[in-house]
């Protein structure tokens, strides 16, 4: 079944640790995104990629990095996790940047202690 897959589903980690959230899509979409969702706030864009080999900063990029080595994969790395990065993280993809439907992964719930 075509779609977008995130891993892990949930994770608890200690502050200061490095963490990578994985995201893979098999729809051959050009654009991919990482959002965080916190209670009472709208989805906030962390980083995005318009096409393989290119990435851009979103609204809240500090403390996060991404790479887009190929069309399918778009991992998000927290180099040194802090408690304020406790959130639900959604990966999404679309055929082109912010035009047309976004397809979301099931989310990764991250708790930083």
Tell me how many residues contact another protein (CB under 8 A).
18
Least gap, CB of 52 to another protein (angstroms) = 19
Least gap, CB of 79 to another protein (angstroms) = 25
Under the criterion CB under 8 A, does residue 98 sit at the interface with another protein? yes
Under the criterion CB under 8 A, does residue 2 sit at the interface with another protein? no
Residues 24, 102: Cα–Cα separation, whole Å: 14
Instruction: Name which of residues 56 to 95 contact another protein (CB under 8 A).
Output: 90
Phi, psi of 95 (to 5 degrees): -60, -40
Question: Contact 71/88 with Cβ under 8 angstroms?
Answer: no
Choose which of 43, 51, 67, 95 interacts with another protein (CB under 8 A). 43
Q: Which residue bears the tokens 């729809």? A: 27
Residues 42, 59: Cα–Cα separation, whole Å: 12
Residues 101, 25: Cα–Cα separation, whole Å: 14
Q: Which stretch binds another protein (CB under 8 A): 16-24, 43-51, 62-70, 73-81?
A: 43-51
Question: Contact 77/64 with Cβ under 8 angstroms?
Answer: yes
Choose which of 17, 69, 84, 106 interacts with another protein (CB under 8 A). 106
**Which residues would be at the binding site for another protein (CB under 8 A)?**
40-45, 90, 97-107
């Amino acid at each position: 079944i075509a779609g977008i897959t995130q891993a892990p589903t949930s994770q608890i980690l200690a502050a200061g640790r490095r963490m990578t959230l994985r995201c893979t899509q098999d729809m051959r979409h050009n654009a991919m995104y990482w959002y965080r969702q916190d209670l009472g706030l709208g989805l906030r864009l962390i980083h995005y990629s318009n096409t393989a080999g290119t990435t851009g900063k979103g609204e809240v990029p500090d403390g996060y990095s991404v790479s887009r080595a190929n069309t399918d994969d778009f991992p998000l790395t927290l180099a040194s996790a802090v408690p304020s990065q406790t959130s639900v993280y959604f990966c999404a993809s679309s055929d082109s940047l912010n035009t047309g439907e976004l397809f979301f992964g099931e989310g990764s719930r991250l708790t930083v202690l």
